[in-house]
Each structure stands twice: as C-alpha cells, then as structure tokens.
C-alpha cells in the first residue's frame, strides 16, 4: 500500500463507520495484491477505477460496496467468498472492500452516501505541553 495516511470510510446516510483504517493500493501494483492480505474489522481497501473484483486471489471472505461518482452505493455485496462469482457493476467508479460482516453491522444499503475522509494528525508542538506557561 502506497498511501499510509489515515483515511476513514463513513456511511454518511446511516452515520456509521465502515473503516477506520482505509488503505489505497499503489496504482503500479496489481489490485489482487490488496486482496491477498486479510482485511480485519475496521480495515478497508479502496479500489479506484474498478467495477468488478476478481476473487481468485482472495484468501478470506469480504463485503464489497460498489460506489458511483457521487460515492453513492450502487451495490452492496456481502460475504464474498474466495473464488466465488462477483458481479460487475457497470456504473461503479470504485469498490470499497471491507471485512466480512461490515455491511450488516453498519446497515449499509443501496443509495447510501459514503464519505472517504483523510484524517490529518495534529502536528507536534515545538514546545512540550508541561513547559507552556499556565493561564491564571
């Protein structure tokens, strides 16, 4: 994975968290590299420019959310097993791969709006907190 920044995937419609550790694979690598790793609860992989997932390289079941250009859910596919058939979703611009069970837990449905949000950690101050003058 090339992008190690902290990215959240949120179902804005239902106000539920889909992934707190979203990874975006390096475009120079094959998409199947992302599938080779186990996606644990709270993890996710965002595959851009993708409307179908090849499950032949998978080792674990996944939930898949196919999103359109407005990040609306076009299709929610649960418990996709390794080697199983996966639908091609014609208008999808990307697929959000999630730990199996995430779609059910988050109650995500077709039409829901998903937000992918980068979290920028606060920059450490040059001055330690204990050295700051107190306000009295």
CB 54 within 8 A of CB 86: yes
Query: pLDDT tens digit string along 106-120?
Result: 999 999 999 999 887
Query: In the chain, what are the domain boundaries?
Result: 6-120
Query: For the chain, which residues score pLDDT lower than 70?
Result: 1-5, 27-37, 121-136
Token pair of 110 as six digits? 């077709």
Query: pLDDT tens digit string along 16-38?
Result: 999 999 988 876 554 445 545 67
Q: What's the rounded Cα separation, in Å, for the pair 114 and 94? A: 12
Residues 6+ apart with CB under 8 A from 118: 5, 6, 7
CB 108 within 8 A of CB 73: yes
Instruction: Please give the sequence-ordered ranges of beta strands (E in DSSP) within the chain, or none if there are none.
Output: 6-11, 16-19, 21-23, 43-48, 62-67, 73-80, 94-99, 114-119
Q: Does domain 6-120 have CATH number 3.30.420.40?
A: no
Residue 101's pLDDT is 96
């Amino acid at each position: 994975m090339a992008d190690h920044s902290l990215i959240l995937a949120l179902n804005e419609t239902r106000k539920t968290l889909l992934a707190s550790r979203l990874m975006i694979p390096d475009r120079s690598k094959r998409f199947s590299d992302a599938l080779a790793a186990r996606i644990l609860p709270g993890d996710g992989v965002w595959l851009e420019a993708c409307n179908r997932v090849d499950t032949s390289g998978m080792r674990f079941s996944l939930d898949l959310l196919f999103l359109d250009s407005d990040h609306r859910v076009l299709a929610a596919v649960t418990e996709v097993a390794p080697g199983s058939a996966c639908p091609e979703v014609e208008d999808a611009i990307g697929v959000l791969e999630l730990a199996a069970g995430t779609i059910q837990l988050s109650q995500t449905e077709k039409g829901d709006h998903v937000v992918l949000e980068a979290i920028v950690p606060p920059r450490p101050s040059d001055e330690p907190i204990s050295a700051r003058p107190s306000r009295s």
